Amino acid sequence: MSVLVLTLIILLGAFLAGLIGSLTGLGGGVIIIPLLTLVLKVDIHYAIGASLVSVIATSSGSAAAYVKEGISNIRVGMFLEIATTVGAVIGAFIAVYAETNMIAVIFGLVLVLSAALSFKKHAEIIASKPNRLAALLKLNSSYPTAAGEINYTVQHVPGGFFMMMIAGVLSGLLGIGSGALKVLAMDNIMKLPFKVSTTTSNFMIGVTAAASAGVYFERGYIDPGLAMPVMLGVLAGAFAGSKILVKAQTKSLRVVFAIVITFLAIQMIYNGLNGKI
Amino acid sequence: MKQGQHVKDSDLETIMGSLLRIGVLIAATVVLIGGILYLFQHGRAEPHYHTFSGEPKDLKNIKSIFTEVFKLQSTAIIQLGVLVLIATPIARIIFSIVGFVLEKDYLYVVITFIVLGIIAFSMLSGLAG
């Protein structure tokens, strides 16, 4: 296989990853890394580096669209970025010394978890209980809905902060955005409204990925021949996805995606345990 | 007062959003140019990704990337685009500091500086060896 053929295959795969990632909200990294490692037999360190680049691209590229809706909470985002960036640096540091097959097994487990989380029901309960720490950090805010502005308060700040640190470690270790875990921290633990959680999480993903991308870049884990088709493909796919977003079809798409992801996860774990990755 | 703060926040976010989009567009353009050149220069070569060996020194050091870019070395042009991309979220953080200063929210000026400091540490500490 020549470089040209490999580049075209990755470009196509990355386009699909970006497209499906943006339609399901799971992000492209979870498909890119299995594609590169399982199908194209690329070393997982290179795959993580390329994926991180695409994570920054999609997060930054879609931020403009989300911001227009005016529902992300930049103070919650900025405060929690302390946790995610510290985690990301720790994760990238672990990745430098971790065996490739161990990374593959952890990746598989996180993949299953992400797929499961995408099916969680989101009951929209607006918290209004006052919380001292949240008030001190000015995290409480309001967001626009069809029924007008709704005020919400933020709960369990330390718990959310800790969960965010774990999300950061996984992001730095595996080269994914770990958006599912970020949403879990804000939605389930801190009781932010679901829409606020998802948009704020998207805003944070790029910063988290940039923190670990610096380490990967310096280590020489970001290869231009791979980063180029991955970044361009995912960006084009995510852009196409944002144009064709049809609400009615996302549910069945999500089911298909979860099945694919679970299959990929089993492959990653199996190959990791057998030392074939 | 709360209303006023909210309006300012959304102004800030709109500018930040456009800033990010412009950064991504520039990065993608640079990578695309480098990529086309790359396929012309290396398209028929044999890929070598099965075993990890790390990038050569001149592709992970900012100064030497610039030297190689001027020699029209395609891989260095792609790396430059990647660097621009990594810089976009960092630019957003720096911009946030300005925004919080304008809002006189000094708590968040400090918080944002902490985030910036962590990222700077990750890049300059030599943690990566």
Domain chopping of chain B, boundaries: 2-44+52-124
Strand partners, A151: A142
Asked if residue A263 has pLDDT above 50, the reply is yes
Question: What percent of chain B has a predicted confidence (pLDDT) above 90?
Answer: 40
Q: What's the ipTM? A: 0.88
Composition of chain B by helix, strand, coil, percent to 5: 80, 0, 20
Please judge whether B60 and A220 are an interchain contact, meaning their C-beta atoms are less than 8 angstroms apart: yes
Domain ranges of chain A: 3-273
Please judge whether A61 and B115 are an interchain contact, meaning their C-beta atoms are less than 8 angstroms apart: no
The whole-number pLDDT of residue A122 equals: 65
Packed helices A44-69 and A100-117: angle between N→C axes, nearest 10 degrees? 30
Please judge whether A42 and B50 are an interchain contact, meaning their C-beta atoms are less than 8 angstroms apart: yes
Please judge whether B59 and A220 are an interchain contact, meaning their C-beta atoms are less than 8 angstroms apart: yes
Asked if residue A86 has pLDDT above 90, the reply is yes
Interface of B with A in 22-41 (CB under 8 A): 23-24, 27-28, 31-32, 34-35, 38-39
CA atoms within 13 A on the CB side of B102: 12
Q: Model confidence over A172-183: pLDDT tens digits?
A: 999 988 888 888
Residues of B in contact with A86 (CB under 8 A): 118
Asked if residue A57 has pLDDT above 90, the reply is no
Of B51, B83, B108, the CB nearest to A43: B51
Closest residue in chain B to residue A41, using alpha carbons only: B50
Please judge whether A220 and B13 are an interchain contact, meaning their C-beta atoms are less than 8 angstroms apart: no
Mean pLDDT confidence for A179-193: 87
Mean pLDDT confidence for B4-28: 75
Phi-psi group of A178: left, alpha or beta (phi > 0 → left; psi -120 to 50 → alpha; rest → beta): left
As a whole number of angstroms, the distance between CA B41 and CA B27 comes to: 21
Query: Alpha helix (H) ranges present in A151-249?
Result: 157-174, 179-184, 194-219, 224-243
Q: Model confidence over A236-248: pLDDT tens digits?
A: 988 887 777 555 4
What is the DSSP-derived secondary structure letter of residue A187? I
